[in-house]
Amino acid sequence: MSLKINDADFTRLVNYMEQKFGINLKQKRVLIEGRLSNTIQQRGFTDFTGFLNMIFADKTGTEMINLINKLTTNHTYFYREPEHYDFMVQTALPYLEQSKKDHKVYIWSAACSSGEEPYTNIMQTIEYFSRKAAAWTIEELATDISDRVMDLARKGIYHQDTMKNLPAGWDKKYFKSVGNECFQIQPTVTSKVKIQKFNLMDPIPFKARPFDIIFCRNVMIYFEKETKEALVKRFYDVLAPGGFLFIGHAETIDRTNSKYQYVKPAVYRKPLDVK
């Protein structure tokens, strides 16, 4: 049975999600009712009020994160938005190869979900540098707000359906079969990725070393304009000069109000001539 959310509950939920997580649910009343009705009843509540009281009372925050997962989506897959990987091979990695005297590449997958994105980034970077004479150190930080998806990323076991877009041969090279049409990604890839919980609304603590490429794809779609602008400014501060920001192809950054150079759809760059 579908439950209706009253105005007071709708307002408190929408305001909290926006202030705490940047997520804009103002137009999502029907989605909220549709996605939560079953859960509410399975958890023994008869209406939204009791359910939301329980969520707001949970001091661990786990219930709130589970709620976010229900209302947004963790959907992802390997080699998503291949235009970014073409751009990496043709432009971003050759630039890093020329410019980085320390032979180290540092990537951030911000909103990594279950790991398909950060592991694709590593496989693509390994592929590129493995053909070069010099040895390169490849490292990546992968963050998300949801413990559930980060646990999946740590396990690194994927159904073959998520791997359909991978270039030919990568399945054999970087995965081993574990049965039931599932494959586990190899330590050659996972060992290069550090997975850590991080809410994109918080100040960025990862300042020790600038990132060469930041992926923040298919999460800002839920954010209000101001939230998004503030976030891409924070990314700017932790990007190396000449570094790249990749956003989802369904997302945009207001070019009139940004220090980034626009490179092409969904690709932005921090200018080289800044400190």
Ligand X SMILES: C[S@@+](CC[C@H](N)C(=O)[O-])C[C@H]1O[C@@H](n2cnc3c(N)ncnc32)[C@H](O)[C@@H]1O
Instruction: Give the binding range for ligand X (CB under 6 A) out of 24-32, 37-45, 84-92, 217-225.
Output: 217-225
Query: What is the sign, positive or negative, of the torsion defined by CA atoms of 87, 141, 95, 248?
Result: positive
- Alpha-carbon span 216 to 124, nearest angstrom: 17
Where do we find the tokens 């990749």?
Answer: 246
Tell which one of 14, 145, 266, 267 touches ligand X (CB under 6 A). 145
Q: How far is the CB of 128 from ligand X (least distance, A)?
A: 21
- Alpha-carbon span 35 to 28, nearest angstrom: 10
Please report whether residue 25 would count as binding ligand X according to CB under 6 A: no
Q: How far is the CB of 5 from ligand X (least distance, A)?
A: 21
Determine which helix (DSSP H) or strand (DSSP E) holds 140, and give its type and residue range. strand 137-144
Instruction: Give the binding range for ligand X (CB under 6 A) out of 21-29, 31-39, 176-184, 257-265.
Output: 21-29
Q: How far is the CB of 161 from ligand X (least distance, A)?
A: 14
Please report whether residue 190 would count as binding ligand X according to CB under 6 A: no
Contacts of ligand X in 81-140 (CB under 6 A): 111, 113, 117
Q: DSSP 3-state assignment of 234? A: helix
For the CA atoms of the chain, what is the radius of gyration? 20
Tell which one of 146, 162, 190, 227 touches ligand X (CB under 6 A). 146
Burial code (b: 16+ CB inside 10 Å, e: under 16) for 10-27 equals: beebbebbbeebbbbbee
Where do we find the tokens 């940047």?
Answer: 22
How many angstroms separate the Cα of 24 from the Cα of each of 19, 72, 227, 239? 9, 10, 10, 26
- Looking at the Cβ atoms of 75 and 176, the one nearer to ligand X is 75
Q: How far is the CB of 132 from ligand X (least distance, A)?
A: 28
Please report whether residue 219 would count as binding ligand X according to CB under 6 A: yes
Q: How far is the CB of 25 from ligand X (least distance, A)?
A: 12
Q: Which residues bind ligand X (CB under 6 A)?
A: 21-23, 72-76, 80, 111, 113, 117, 144-146, 149, 199-201, 217-219, 248
